Amino acid sequence: MKFREAQSADIPQIMHVRMAVKENILSNPDSIKEKDYEEFMFKRGKAWVCEIENKIVGFAVTDLQENNIWALFILPEFEGQGIGKTLHDLMLNWYFSQTHETVWLGTSANTRAELFYRKLGWKEVGVHGNGEIKFEMSRIDWLNL
């Protein structure tokens, strides 16, 4: 298992991971294009991947422009192995090294993602988008975990 910063050449595999998830499925698979990944990963923020045998099995992207976790997804067959937590921690350590602004994310209710973020100390602060739960993490809370 190898964790590293994402590169442009990773985008096709990252898009495959995003489309393979069983929860938080995109209602319109064509709504996020390769250029959107480029922008969020290299202009607005940063991304990390987890590889196993040269195959990307998970990725995470943070957006400094909107102080947002844009994506954190794992191939279903690799869930429960600590990949998500490691990507999460890499992402938040980097995010809070860049800014002291509180970071937020949205995720669907009654999903494994909701439980994952609650377990990691994210605080529910309301509703976002089409009824997603909005969570926040402050720098102080992150440092105290």
Collapsing DSSP states into helix, strand and coil, what is residue 79? Answer: coil
d(CA 134, CA 52): 31
| Predicted confidence band of residue 23 (pLDDT cuts 50, 70, 90) | confident
Q: What is the pLDDT of residue 22?
A: 83
Using CA atoms of 134, 102, 119, 56 in order, give the dihedral in degrees to the nearest 10. Answer: 90
CA separation (Å) from 46 to 11, 61, 68, 129? 13, 6, 11, 23
Note the pLDDT of residue 122. 98
**Is pLDDT at 31 greater than 90 in this prediction?**
no
Among candidate residues 132, 144, 1, 145, the one with its CA nearest the CA of residue 69: 132
Which of 114, 99, 23, 20 shows the shortest CA–CA distance to 64?
A: 99
The whole-number average pLDDT for the span 124-141 is 95
Residue-range domains of the chain with CATH: 2-144 (3.40.630.30)
pLDDT digits (tens, 9 = 90+) for 76-95: 999 999 999 999 999 999 99
What is the model's pLDDT at position 129? 87
Element (H, E) at 131: none
DSSP string, 87-124: HHHHHHHHHHHH--S-EEEEE-TTSHHHHHHHHTT-EE
**How does strand 132-137 pair with strand 103-107?**
antiparallel
